[in-house]
Amino acid sequence: MKKCLFLLCLLLCVTCFFCACDEAETPAPDPDPTPTHTHEWGEWRISILATCTTEGQEKRLCACGEVEKRVVPVTQEHTFTEKCMTAEYEYTSSVVQTVGIYCYKCSVCDAKGTNIYVTEDASICFGEYPQSLKAENVTVTETTDSRGYFLGSDGAYYAKVTATPYRNDYTFSSGIPVVGGEVYYFKVEPIRWRVISKEGNTVTVVCDSVIDRVVFDDDKSVDRYADSDVRAWLNTQFFNAAFSADQQEIITTTELSIDVEESIEDKVFLFSRDEVNKTDLFATNNDRLLISSDYIRAIGARVDAQTGVGIWWIRTFSSSTSGNALVVFTDGKIYQCNLDIAYVGVAPALTLDLS
């Protein structure tokens, strides 16, 4: 019996002990283990750069380790850092085609910038004039346009010429001999111009070929370019033949110094000796070699029989011989020439407003 009581007491004690322990070990619910913390944010810092096509992101940090993020909207600005090396830049003007004038494009979205730059081989196609000999597979119809050009089977117009070459050993650029007295047709095609300089949207260009043959002046007593026949021809006959009304609109007036004190204003002009000399594109004799068109080889222009390089007037008069103006000869050097010489050609220059 004593033994039973003992065991019972022991059992009670053990039960009590465990119960007591159980109660002591149960954690009391803690209403707020950490005191309330107000984040102290640092500065917003860019973590992803926004571009013209994608949103960016900014982050700021608290010392506690918390990070806050926010979206940076797409930027309105492009990154015009990449040169757009496409062969052609299309102006908004439909009357000018350019080759070698490039724009800067956005490095992100390829948008084209409005700033343009000119490469060394820059040229512009603008206006049209009879130039290349008609291809053999083209036939010319009797239909003429208001300029007196004949419609060809290819849809192009052609100038009809009975050849009067300066010499009898000339060939056209294709190698076909120029035969005096023969009738030839020359395709009226875009005139290619070399870009000489560019300021904003104003581009000064000079014809990339010797495009026609013109007497400087019939009267050798003329002593100013301002009074010359060639000046009048450039700004009337050539101006009206080569350029449509739309094209004439974008040819701006250029102020030309013709003497120390005198200047004139023209739309189409000849370069002066100073302008030839200071123009990088004419820096060497070689740079001044301009090929003559097929057309002028048939109408009495003097050219280099081997190369087809022509002779072109510059508007400066000879300082030593009256009745002489200067020319760039077939070797690229500058010589003087009688004003009434009929075999010299022209490489007209002009300024375009491309805005």
Q: How far is the CB of 117 from Zn ion (least distance, A)?
A: 18
Q: How far is the CB of 163 from Zn ion (least distance, A)?
A: 56
Q: Quote the CA–CA distance of 123 and 127 in Å, as a whole number.
A: 13
Give residues 178-207 in contact with Zn ion (rule: CB under 5 A): none
Distances (CA, A) of 56 to 46, 59, 70, 72, 135: 8, 10, 9, 5, 59
* For Zn ion, the closer CB: 102 or 126: 102
Tokens 């002990």, residue located: 17
Q: Quote the CA–CA distance of 183 and 181 in Å, as a whole number.
A: 7
Q: How far is the CB of 88 from Zn ion (least distance, A)?
A: 21
Q: How far is the CB of 44 from Zn ion (least distance, A)?
A: 16
Give residues 39-58 in contact with Zn ion (rule: CB under 5 A): 39, 52
Binding mask of the shown chain, residues 78 to 97, with x at each position contacting Zn ion by CB under 5 A: x-------------------
* For Zn ion, the closer CB: 66 or 246: 66
Q: Quote the CA–CA distance of 76 and 194 in Å, as a whole number.
A: 36
Structure tokens at 113: 């910038």
* For Zn ion, the closer CB: 82 or 304: 82
109 near Zn ion, judged by CB under 5 A: yes
**Concatenated DSSP letters for 139-195?**
-EEEEE-TTSPEEETTS-EEEEEE---SSTT-B-TTS-B--TT-EEEEEEEEEEEEE
Stretch that binds Zn ion, among 90-98, 106-114, 305-313, 328-336 (CB under 5 A): 106-114
103 near Zn ion, judged by CB under 5 A: no
Residues linked to residue 1 through DSSP beta bridges, in sequence order: none
* For Zn ion, the closer CB: 62 or 281: 62
108 near Zn ion, judged by CB under 5 A: yes
Q: How far is the CB of 79 from Zn ion (least distance, A)?
A: 6
**Concatenated DSSP letters for 223-254?**
--GGG-HHHHHIIIIIHHHH--HHHHHHEEPE
Stretch that binds Zn ion, among 2-10, 32-40, 212-220, 268-276 (CB under 5 A): 32-40
Tokens 């290819």, residue located: 154
Chain residues binding Zn ion by CB under 5 A are: 39, 52, 62, 64, 66, 78, 106, 108-109, 111
